[in-house]
Amino acid sequence: MPYHEFEVSKVIPERKQHAVMKGAGEDLTSCLPLGYLNTIPGSISERGCAYCGAKHVIGTPMKDVIHISHGPVGCTYDTWQTKRYISDNDNFQLKYTFATDVKEKHIVFGAEKLLKQNIVEAFKAFPDTKRMTIYQTCATALIGDDIDAIAQEVMEEMPGTDIFVCNSPGFAGPSQSGGHHKINIAWINQKVGTLEPEITSDYVINYVGEYNIQGDQEVMTDYFKRMGIQVLSTFTGNGSYDDLRGMHRAHLNVLECARSAEYICDELRERYGIPRLDIDGFGFKPLADSLRKIGLFFGIEERAEAIIQEEIARWQPELDWYKERLRGKKVCLWPGGSKLWHWAHAIQEEMGVKVVSVYTKFGHQGDMEKGVSRCGEGALAIDDPNELEGLEALDMLKPDVIFTGKRPGEMAKKVNVPYLNAHAYHNGPYKGFEGWVRFARDIYNAIHSPIHKLSLIDISKDEIDAGKGFQTRRMISDEGLPEEIRKSTELREYTGKYDSVSALREKTYPEFPRAEAGTEAVAE
């Protein structure tokens, strides 16, 4: 195995098997790091906890729900307003968060009564919201509060309310990934099949593993609706609690983030026989292929094809404008879980950049398999990276840009590497054809930022061009570009609006006639 040993990690030998550098002719059989093992204490890992994996990542994007965490306020406060999963109901889930505020006396005497008071108070404060999720935390897991029993009691006493309980304390697993698993299984066990949805199309899907970061879900749902497909539910971005109770009636589960939500898809297949189709909203080709696959499944390929043609005609010249200016730029692709493989191949193919490193904080070996196989030679793959390894890798690889989280982004900034937020995006959405151009635009703006170039100058040593009062990005990016590309009339910069999502909410869609009233085109 071509393991990569970091200088800074020589003193913790077990780290050696967590990084590989892909060499000539190597494939997964010889080049795969270990993954999803317990974190080494004190290594300054970037991992979060199983509570945040459940509540913060998957639970909270559900939009019409009171999200209560049963514990001291910190868990709630810390995971509140740190994401950009918007919704079409004025972002209720971003604005409101609830904590039972467990104090010392509750630790000693139990906090079940406190929990019940909290539930009642919350429903009273928001009388129009009848749905609730409750998340266990470390403290209440350890004292052994029976949250399920309290939830059951309230549902009986307050008809019309419905409560979901997720027991995923912070310590339950090596990372946030443990929480993803727990909430997937809890949801299908407790809620799927408890409400019969209204079926309005012959083609019905659940859109799974999609969190509506900056509007991703709304962009993708727009394509589905244009194909005449009913999106029964989204798990969970911009998703509705009651819609998700009816997941069992879909004909197909369309799965986006296989890291965080394949569990529920696999259970839906097992229990209800609903097939799983993995798709990819990032990148023109992966997205076009995804829409084609869905079209093929339902026998409506021509609807998919029409959308693909229209969108590509509209956006390809803009994507290519950026591709010409991003060619050969070195990228560190350091997201949380699945984006390492969602993006690796697509950005190389469609934006011309070179991925020099991938890492994953909470991915499993399966994610690394996909990621490593989609990278070129010389790419450094790191599992559960830590602060010092990250800095050493940046020093060694000297990337032009890094895609990572907010906090590691600040670290990269200090070593003069511009960053894009891989979790929340800079100016997304990044899914969809237009979104992919927005991503390219953001990469271009980061790499060719005049301010970034200025930060590399040492005025005490370097020559200063005193006659220059400014520099445009084009002056930087077009230096050395062939004349025909610089002056191309085919290619153009991004022409969309700052907000590319809100208008979709007002859109109307064509009615497609159904096969025959009362029957369904797809056999169950």
Partner 1 sequence: MTCEIKEKDRVGTINPIFTCQPAGAQFVSIGVKDCIGLVHGGQGCVMFVRLIFSQHYKESFELASSSLHEDGAVFGACGRVEEGVDVLLARYPDVKVIPIITTCSTEVIGDDVDGVIRKLNDGLLKEKYADREVHLIAIHTPSFVGSMISGYDVAVRDFVKYFATPTEPNGKINLITGWVNPGDVKALKHLLKEMDVDATVLFEIESFDSPLMPDGNAISHGGTTIDDLRSTANAFGTIALNRYEGAKAAEWLQEEYKIPAVIGPTPIGIRNTDSFLQNLKKMTGKPIPPSLVRERAVALDALTDVTHMFLAEKKVAIYGNPDLVIGLAEFCIDLEMKPVLLLLGDDNVRYKNDPRLLAMKENVDWDMEVVTNADFWDLEDRIKNKGLELDLILGHSKGRFVAIDNNIPMVRVGFPTYDRAGMYRYPVVGYEGATWLAEQMANALFTDMEYKKNKEWILNVW
Footprint (CB under 8 A) of partner 1, residues 89-118: 94-104, 106-107, 114, 117-118
- The closest alpha carbon to 350, from 375, 316, 379, belongs to 316
Nearer to partner 1, 24 or 456 (CB): 456
Q: Say whether residue 167 binds partner 1 (CB under 8 A).
A: no
Q: Say whether residue 502 binds partner 1 (CB under 8 A).
A: no
As measured in angstroms, the least distance from the Cβ of 86 to partner 1 is 13
Question: No. of H helices and E strands in the chain?
Answer: 21, 14
Q: Say whether residue 186 binds partner 1 (CB under 8 A).
A: no
Residue of 296, 457, 475, 503 that binds partner 1 (CB under 8 A): 457
As measured in angstroms, the least distance from the Cβ of 169 to partner 1 is 8
DSSP notation for 133-172: EEEE-HHHHHHT--HHHHHHHHHHHSTT-EEEEE---TTS
Q: Say whether residue 47 binds partner 1 (CB under 8 A).
A: yes
Alpha-carbon distance of 412 to 467, in angstroms, equals 31
As measured in angstroms, the least distance from the Cβ of 274 to partner 1 is 31
Nearer to partner 1, 110 or 352 (CB): 110
Nearer to partner 1, 9 or 445 (CB): 9
Q: Which long-range contacts (CB under 8 A, 24 or more apart) does 292-299 make?
A: 294/205, 294/224, 294/227, 294/229, 294/252, 294/254, 295/227, 297/252, 298/202, 298/203, 298/229, 298/251, 298/252, 298/521, 298/522, 299/521
Nearer to partner 1, 60 or 79 (CB): 79
- Strand pairing category for 354-360 and 419-421: unpaired
Residue of 21, 45, 161, 286 that binds partner 1 (CB under 8 A): 45
- The closest alpha carbon to 401, from 360, 337, 474, 452, belongs to 452
Residue-level length of the chain: 524
As measured in angstroms, the least distance from the Cβ of 260 to partner 1 is 16
Q: Say whether residue 436 binds partner 1 (CB under 8 A).
A: no
As measured in angstroms, the least distance from the Cβ of 238 to partner 1 is 18
Q: Say whether residue 12 binds partner 1 (CB under 8 A).
A: yes
User: In one letter, which amino acid is 478?
Assistant: D
Contact between 67 and 55 (Cβ < 8 Å): yes
Measure CA of the first residue to CA of the last residue in the chain; give whole Å: 46
As measured in angstroms, the least distance from the Cβ of 464 to partner 1 is 13
Place of tokens 């002719």: 25
In the range 388-417, which residues lie near partner 1 by CB under 8 A? 388, 405-408, 410-411, 413-416
Residue of 23, 27, 30, 81 that binds partner 1 (CB under 8 A): 81
Structure token pair of residue 368: 């690394």
Q: Say whether residue 150 binds partner 1 (CB under 8 A).
A: no
Alpha-carbon distance of 304 to 302, in angstroms, equals 5
Burial class of residue 126, CB neighbours in 10 A (0-12, 13-18, 19+): middle
- The closest alpha carbon to 83, from 216, 185, 203, belongs to 216
As measured in angstroms, the least distance from the Cβ of 165 to partner 1 is 16
Half-sphere exposure of 401 (CA within 13 A, CB side): 25
Residue of 34, 62, 172, 420 that binds partner 1 (CB under 8 A): 172
Nearer to partner 1, 8 or 312 (CB): 8
Nearer to partner 1, 11 or 24 (CB): 11
As measured in angstroms, the least distance from the Cβ of 362 to partner 1 is 10
Q: Say whether residue 312 binds partner 1 (CB under 8 A).
A: no
Find the part of the chain contacting partner 1 (CB under 8 A) among 171-179, 202-210, 220-228, 270-278: 171-179
Find the part of the chain contacting partner 1 (CB under 8 A) among 168-176, 290-298, 466-474, 480-488: 168-176
Contact between 97 and 67 (Cβ < 8 Å): yes
Q: Say whether residue 258 binds partner 1 (CB under 8 A).
A: no
Nearer to partner 1, 102 or 422 (CB): 102
What is the DSSP code (8-state) at residue 77? Answer: H
Nearer to partner 1, 138 or 158 (CB): 138
Find the part of the chain contacting partner 1 (CB under 8 A) among 32-40, 193-201, 303-311, 481-489: 32-40
Q: Say whether residue 507 binds partner 1 (CB under 8 A).
A: no
Residue of 59, 174, 215, 363 that binds partner 1 (CB under 8 A): 174
Alpha-carbon distance of 524 to 511, in angstroms, equals 23
Q: Say whether residue 5 binds partner 1 (CB under 8 A).
A: no
As measured in angstroms, the least distance from the Cβ of 398 to partner 1 is 10
According to DSSP H, which parts of 232-363 are helical? Answer: 241-245, 258-272, 284-298, 301-326, 339-351
Nearer to partner 1, 462 or 463 (CB): 462
Alpha-carbon distance of 7 to 95, in angstroms, equals 44
Burial class of residue 320, CB neighbours in 10 A (0-12, 13-18, 19+): buried
Nearer to partner 1, 337 or 435 (CB): 337
φ, ψ (nearest 5 deg) of residue 36: 55, 40
Contact between 444 and 476 (Cβ < 8 Å): no
Total number of residues that touch partner 1 (CB under 8 A): 82
Q: Say whether residue 75 binds partner 1 (CB under 8 A).
A: yes
Find the part of the chain contacting partner 1 (CB under 8 A) among 120-128, 190-198, 220-228, 504-512: 120-128
